[in-house]
Structure 1
Amino acid sequence: MEGRDGDVRVGANMYGERQPIGTVAQTEDGNDYTEAPPAPLFEARELTSWSFFRAGIAEFVATFLFLYVTVLTVMGVAKSPSKCSTVGVQGIAWSFGGMIFALVYCTAGISGGHINPAVTFGLFLARKLSLTRAVFYIIMQCLGAICGAAVVKGFQSNQYERLGGAANTLNKGHSEVDGLGAEIVGTFVLVYTVFSATDAKRNARDSHVPILAPLPIGFAVFLVHLATIPITGTGINPARSLGAALAYNKDQAWDNHWIFWVGPFIGAGLAALYHQIVIRAIPFKSTK
């Protein structure tokens, strides 16, 4: 027993926090990383910068490609008489998760690789980007999603109408509360993963984190789809839900559409608060 207690003490000393959260981690002395200053609410100079518009274009193109590939995947599963002859639900989840992994990797250095208004909203609440940029990103994401779904419909109009166009709807046996809860928790998982994967403190400690950041984000999307496809078809991305709903434009696509906006924004807000206040304790200062 005595030896075991000794092992515990040695382990605690050997693997302790290098920067205690809420104290030294938020001071200027002894930091092994640089915490970016909070973004201003409005930055007028952004509107005259090419990098600002380039980032918006990157968000548009990424969301366009995201909808194009994932909607085609969902339609391929829906039109098959046997789920065993297609990629199935697991394949749909891999399509969404894999595309997010690839697109975040491609666009992270340009726009941050949001590809989702809920992610943008969460990062805005955490003061990672200005309101100007957040609104611009959300507009470009929605436009990209609408265009992506519209191109699929343009290529396969009859099949798109017949197969539902990958529009998010509540599945039979589930209430609005079920759908809202699934969207809140699913988006929380995604946005919390985004915060953790892009944390400046972790990036400084583990040099591989910036390189691998798209992987856990894509994997989070994959896992959430496995869990919530049977409930809502999985939204967790208001732009994705809007693009598919507009292209399909049937009553069932609009009946509970509010869930796919309210749920993700609540989930993103909760994830931002949890990561910033509880995990990182950024609002708190050292008592020294």
Structure 2
Amino acid sequence: MREREKMEGKEEDVKLGANKFSERQPIGMAAQDKDYKEPPPPPLLDFGELKSWSFYRAGIAEFVATFLFLYISILTVMGVVQNESRCATVGIQGIAWSFGGMIFALVYCTAGISGGHINPAVTFGLFLARKLSLIRAVFYIIMQCLGAICGAGVVKGFQKHVYETNGGGANVVNSGYSNGGALGAEIMGTFILVYTVFSATDAKRKARDSHVPILAPLPIGFAVFLVHLATIPITGTGINPARSLGAAIIYNRDHAWDDQWIFWVGPGIGAILAAVYHQVVIRALPFKRRS
């Protein structure tokens, strides 16, 4: 009798264990049970944000971050040009590290406040993916452009002669390249950047990999670095309309304004393509909502 009771007890333990396993991971339902929640899209026009201090704090953070970005990056460009014989070994690499390194640092510092966009193309792409409202997107872009203008203005104030005689860091289509080629470079460069932003900040990855929020600025900054390595010889690398506008306004020469449209249209198209690719192909969100 005792042996029989022991056998029955073991069978019940096996059944309970099987039930616990099935509760944790039901067969055929693993793909449906998410360990993360997709944040709901914000309202298109959220006028309530205008009454919130966090809204203005985020805009100020975007202004300061873009100001610092232009200050360091354009100052690096001017330093390399002024001391070409001493900086010949860094050249493009030094400028690319300056842009990429500042984006890495600034995204890390401001991601928890404003999301760390520091770029109207990034803001536009995230808006298309319904990650922020239209009011916030417009406010961010305005603050980014103002910050870029002020950052380039400070550089000019430090060394006006060098700034004016060496292009002021303004984006132009360099000799040997067509407008079409420059536009294509801006589209591809911005696509790489915005696609990296989407991937590095994806809600699904953040939920499953605890290290993702900490490391997100690293791939974003590295993408900026690599794109600059590839496209500085073509356009000086825009991929950021605020950066291009700020340098053009402070430098204020005709040839800088002639190509300005490229540095808005190119990043705009690149942001659209990145948003569509990530939302439709990578995440397949439209198909998930239908099912």
Match of 2:183 in 1: 180
- Taking the aligned partners of 1:102 and 1:287, their CA distance within structure 2 comes to 40
Separation in structure 1 between the aligned mates of residue 62 and residue 275 of structure 2, nearest angstrom: 21
C-alpha contact 1:76 1:86 (8 A) present in aligned 2: no
1:51, distance to aligned residue in structure 2 (A): 0.1
* Mapping for residues 57-96 of structure 1, pairs under 5 Å: 57-82=60-85, 84-85=87-88, 87-96=90-99
Separation (CA, whole Å) in 2 of partners of 1:285 and 1:100: 33
Matched residue, 2:20: none
Distance 2:36 2:290 in 1: 20
**SS state of the match for residue 130, structure 2?**
coil
Q: Is the 8 A contact 1:96 1:221 kept in 2?
A: yes
Q: Does 1:98 align with 2:101?
A: yes
Please say which of residues 148-157 and 267-276 is displaced more in the overlay.
148-157
Q: 1:287 to 1:242 in 2, by over 3 A?
A: closer
2:3 aligns to what? none
Write the letter of the residue equivalent to 2:71.
Y
- How far does residue 47 in structure 1 lie from its aligned partner after superposition? 0.2
Q: Deviations over 1:60-85 (max 9, x none)?
A: 00000000000000011112242645
- Structure 1 unaligned runs (5+)? 1-17
C-alpha displacement at 1:255, in angstroms? Answer: 1.1
Matched, 1:246 2:236: no
Q: Distance in 1 between matches of 2:152 and 2:217?
A: 24
Q: 1:51 corresponds to which residue?
A: 54
> In the superposition, relative to structure 1, how do residues 112 and 287 fare at CA in structure 2: closer, same or farther (>3 Å)?
closer
Percentage identity across paired residues of the two chains: 78
Contact kept, 8 Å, 1:80 with 1:86, in 2: the verdict is no
Q: One-letter code of the match for 1:99?
A: M
The DSSP-based 3-state class of the residue aligned with 1:41 is coil
Distance in 1, matches of 2:178 and 2:98, equals 27
| Residues 187 and 267 in structure 1, CA contact (< 8 A), matched pair in contact too | yes
Match of 1:233 in 2: 236
Give per-residue Cα distances to partners, 1:122-161, cap 9 Å, x unaligned: 0000000000000000000000000000111112111110
What amino acid is aligned across from residue 137 of structure 2 in structure 1? A
Distance of 1:184 and 1:79 partners within structure 2 = 30
Report if aligned partners of 2:80, 2:87 keep a CA contact under 8 Å in 1: no
Mean Cα displacement is larger for which, 66-75 or 80-89? 80-89
Match of 2:174 in 1: 171
RMSD over aligned Cα atoms: 1.6
Q: Taking structure 1 as the reference length, what is the TM-score of the superposition?
A: 0.89
Give structure 2 stretches of 5+ with no counterpart.
1-24
**1:32 paired to 2:12:** no
Which residue number corresponds to residue 261 of structure 1? 264
The 1:24/1:118 distance shift into structure 2, 3 A limit, reads: farther
How far residue 86 of structure 1 moved from its aligned partner, in angstroms, is 6.0
Aligned residues: 264
Matches within 5 A, 1:102-251: 102-251=105-254
Distance 1:93 1:107 in 2: 21
TM score, norm. by length of structure 2: 0.88
| CA deviation map 1:253-273 (0-9, x unaligned) | 111110000000100010000
Please say if residues 78 and 169 of structure 2, whose CA atoms lie closer than 8 Å, have aligned partners that are also in contact.
yes
Change (3 A) 1:84 1:66: closer
Query: Structure 1, residues 231-269: CA drift from partner, whole Å, max 9, x if none?
Result: 000000000000000010001111111000000010001
> Shift of residue 87 of structure 1?
3.1
Larger radius of gyration: 2
Distance 2:208 2:226 in 1: 27
What SS does the aligned partner of 2:189 have?
Answer: helix
User: Partner of 1:270 in structure 2?
Assistant: 273
Map Cα deviations across residues 157-180 of structure 1 (whole Å, 9 max, x no partner).
Answer: 111101111000111100000000
